[in-house]
Amino acid sequence: MEKLPILVFGATGRQGGSVARALLKAHRPVRALVRDTAAAESVALRDAGVELVQGTFDDIETIRAAMKGAYGVFSVLPGNLAQGEEVRAGIAIADLAIESGVVHFVYSSGASAGDKLTGVARFDAKPRIEAHIRNLPVAATIVRPMIFMEMLVRPGLGLEEGRYTFFLRPDQSMQLIAVEDIGKFVAAIFADRTRFGGKTLKIAGDTVTGSELEAILTQVAGRPIAYARFSEEFLVANPDLGHMAASLDAGPLADHVDLDLMREINPEMLSFRSWLSGSGYRAFEEILRRAAG
């Protein structure tokens, strides 16, 4: 079984790329559906040993062929799809996996997805796909990655002005995950279908409060970075961000996973501090440099 390939969607992107790399590292054969085989990310995947199949979510026959003989499928959908499109593609990929006799199906949902629908179309695509997958006759694992550490080091959060704004109150905590750890968790999940098949699992690598964010950003930057929560007016004016703040206050993002369990599954998982001073430093430093200039 371990010699059969795992078909990875989105392998030229963040999550799929992380999964493809971690599976290769675990000596699992990887096949990837990519839109452009000549793109630099695709060429890098091929050079690393990934078998490329050219196609999009609309190419049902291509996906069917790509799933032939596959042990597993990792499904992740881009964040820019309309809700209807996301649901359609998520369900079609899962149904094709069943038809193809895939043994283990892993779907990456989102930590904001709760078990109930919100009634707001754009937040309900992932729970709808999850519900469909749970009813399929396959060992499926649904992962819900917590907030990507990469999301914290982006322009527009105040770093350019030497300060930082985000969702947390100083004593409120949230959980984060480095994208590179998503692949490591998923590789561990594919390695143990008996343990993880049929499970829905939030995945995270660290917990930080607003005050800790300030301390870590300051320490890694080597100069003071004052932290403040987004203002209420700002959250009201930006409903998607307001939804996330509400989710951190009392919704699915307020539920924290047990980090000891996470470490047992992925012993290499990164804390925010280690990520920021390691692989996250380049992006951080680039914004800080703009602030200095």
Give the number of residues in contact with ligand NAP, rule: CB under 6 A.
Answer: 22
Q: Supply the minimum distance, in Å, between the C-beta of residue 123 and ligand NAP.
A: 10
**183 belongs to the binding site for ligand NAP (CB under 6 A):** no
The C-alpha atoms of residue 62 and residue 54 are separated, in whole angstroms, by: 8
The answer to whether 12 contacts ligand NAP (rule: CB under 6 A) is yes
Question: Residue ranges of the alpha helices (H) in 100-231?
Answer: 125-134, 179-190, 193-196, 210-221
Q: How far is the CB of 142 from ligand NAP (least distance, A)?
A: 12
Residue 90 touching ligand NAP (CB under 6 A): no
Residues 121, 109: Cα–Cα separation, whole Å = 15
Is residue 151 close enough to count as binding ligand NAP by CB under 6 A? yes
Q: How far apart are CA 283 and CA 215, in angstroms?
A: 18
Among 15, 75, 173, 266, binds ligand NAP (CB under 6 A): 15
**By CB under 6 A, which span of 8-16, 63-71, 164-172, 259-267 interacts with ligand NAP?**
8-16
The full DSSP string for 147-174 is EEGGGGSSTTSSGGGTEEEES--TT-EE
10: how many CB neighbours lie within 10 A of its CB? 21
Q: How far is the CB of 9 from ligand NAP (least distance, A)?
A: 6
Helix (H) or strand (E) run with residue 85 in it: helix 83-99
* Nearest-CB residue for ligand NAP: 13
Residue 159 one-letter amino acid:
L
Span interacting with ligand NAP, options 4-12, 188-196, 226-234, 239-247, rule CB under 6 A:
4-12
Closer by beta carbon to ligand NAP, 15 or else 227 = 15
Dihedral angle, C-alpha 178, 184, 188, 190, nearest 10 °: 100
Binding pattern for the stretch 120-149 against ligand NAP, x by CB under 6 A and - elsewhere: -------------------------x-xx-
Cα–Cα distance between 141 and 279 in angstroms, integer?
Answer: 28
- Give yes or no for residue 13 binding ligand NAP (CB under 6 A): yes
Contacts of 132 (CB under 8 A, 6+ apart): 90, 91, 94
Which H or E run includes 73? strand 72-75
56 forms part of the interface with ligand NAP (CB under 6 A) = yes
Q: How far is the CB of 167 from ligand NAP (least distance, A)?
A: 11
- In this chain, which of 5, 7, 14, 102 binds ligand NAP, going by CB under 6 A? 14
Q: Which of 55, 13, 11 is nearest to 30 (CA)?
A: 11
Contact status: 35 vs ligand NAP (CB under 6 A):
yes
> Contact between 102 and ligand NAP (CB under 6 A)?
no
- Residues at the contact surface with ligand NAP, assessed by CB under 6 A: 10-16, 35-36, 41, 56-57, 76-79, 110-111, 145, 147-148, 151
